[in-house]
Amino acid sequence: MEHQFVTPNWHVILIHYPLGLITIGVLIELLAFLWLRSTVRNAGKWMILLGTLACIPAVTTGLFAFADVAHKANPNAMEMGGWGDVTAGHPWSQVQWDYFKHHIWYEASGTAVMVLACLLWLGASEATRRRAHPVFLLLCVAGLGLMVAGAWYSGEDVYRFGSATMADPAVPADARASAQQAGVPHFENWRQRLEYFVPPLQAHTLMAGLTVAVAVGALGMALRAMNRPAGVSDFDARLVGDPNAPAAGDPNAPPPDAAYLAVLRGAGPERATDVRSADLVEVRPTRLPVGRFWLLACVLGLITAGGGLWVLTQETNSWQPKALWGAISGGEHGDHAEHGVAATLNRRVVHVALGVSIVVLTLLLAGVGRWTARRRGIVSILALLLVLVVAAQIWMGILLLYDGHQGPLARFNKSSAGAAAPTTPSTAPTTAPGGITSAAP
């Protein structure tokens, strides 16, 4: 664990935000009967949405965090092989591995449930949101419960056993002494200073998480745009949630959507009479900023790619394109022959290809979202491709973090000693792409 500004990693900071936001948001929704007509419920929904999106960068930095602390406790393993060697001779106890495994499973499941709930809610019409509100709330409660359970296991692993801390007996004495030096170290150049505060690999994994989070939000808005009725393409969705709108299930009032649709077919702002209280409601047509969010995801993807090149410069000590490509392709670094893997199919090349695909797909979706947002076929195909590419990229990132850049694309390298791991090592980094962390609040 190198001497850096935040020890052991950024993940220990980021995990607090999603848990806090989702917990408060779910509590507001559970107590909604206390403020049925209040805007507090809108605040609760925003907390759930932002907390869920914040889970994604917490997950990607958690991928780094777990790999980092596991490798640092067995520093010679990567010289021998990959993840199999790390786990086969690891000094952690069986209980420590089991607690991390439970933490991974619970956090992965909770994150997946929350993302699913938010995507369904973002993409649903107002009528569907009202009818399916108990289902959305149940999903949120289940997701939060899983995440809290996962956080408990992580907390116990850290505070009971000292895992991922300088108190961990598994950490080599020289690494512990280096990390416990007081004060800010002396820097020989600006790059050392920058990397002390912003470690390149952590920055890369954080930006990857932010890219996926923004893409998830853009996907939800794209689904929403596709599900709008044909006559209300410029409908402001907030108006259907107006407190003066007819309540769902009121037998004495026309359906809320029908009442609003009757006045939303015009091209310019209109004034409509609410069917329940005769109050005037101003209608301001608007467009969902789907294209802008896809474009933001594309920009973040480019920044993430730049962070990846920054990581490679630590290995090559050069920004020269030839040196960087040599590190990616294996032309100047590493011997692929001993792993039986062609240089053109090594993990870094695939990682770069998938990253380029993410940038291109988000850029295409930005154009589609701006000019042809209602073309369901085009949006669906591009969105499905993006989901598949992101899933493949997460897997490739796991392989690179845990097992190195040489080896097969579909599995981890076998232990060079042929020994079995003390636990189920492949479970730790290869379960669903979420919730792999090394510490708890």
Taking only the tens place, the pLDDT of each residue in 368-388 is: 877 765 677 888 899 999 999
**Counted domains in the chain:** 2
Q: Is residue 5 part of a domain?
A: no
Report whether pLDDT(307) > 90.
yes
346 & 379 share domain:
yes
Q: Is residue 438 part of a domain?
A: no
Write the burial class of residue 79 (CB in 10 Å: 0-12 exposed, 13-18 middle, 19+ buried): exposed
Q: From 245, 267, 286, give the residue that closes a domain.
A: 286
Q: Is residue 177 part of a domain?
A: yes
138 & 239 share domain:
no
22 & 87 share domain:
yes
* Bridge partners for 283 per DSSP: 270
67 & 135 share domain:
yes
pLDDT at 330: 74
20 & 121 share domain:
yes
The dihedral sign for the CA sequence 113, 210, 319, 321: positive
128 & 259 share domain:
no
pTM: 0.75
Q: Sorting pLDDT into bands at 50, 70 and 90, what band is 77?
A: low
Q: Sorting pLDDT into bands at 50, 70 and 90, what band is 304?
A: very high
361 & 304 share domain:
yes
84 & 201 share domain:
yes
223 & 254 share domain:
no
Whether the Cβ atoms of residue 200 and residue 304 lie closer than 8 Å to each other = no
For residues 298 and 96, what is the distance between their CA atoms, to the nearest angstrom? 39
pLDDT at 397: 93
34 & 19 share domain:
yes
pLDDT at 57: 94
Q: Tell me the residue ranges of DSSP E strands in 19-178.
A: none
Report whether pLDDT(340) > 50.
no
Write the burial class of residue 179 (CB in 10 Å: 0-12 exposed, 13-18 middle, 19+ buried): middle
Whether the Cβ atoms of residue 56 and residue 75 lie closer than 8 Å to each other = no
165 & 81 share domain:
yes
Q: Is residue 182 part of a domain?
A: yes
158 & 104 share domain:
yes
Range with lowest mean pLDDT among 187-201, 321-335, 368-382:
321-335
Give the residue among 61, 2, 1, 387 at the shortest CA–CA distance from 192.
2
Q: Sorting pLDDT into bands at 50, 70 and 90, what band is 328?
A: confident
The range of the structural domain enclosing residue 261 comes to: 234-286
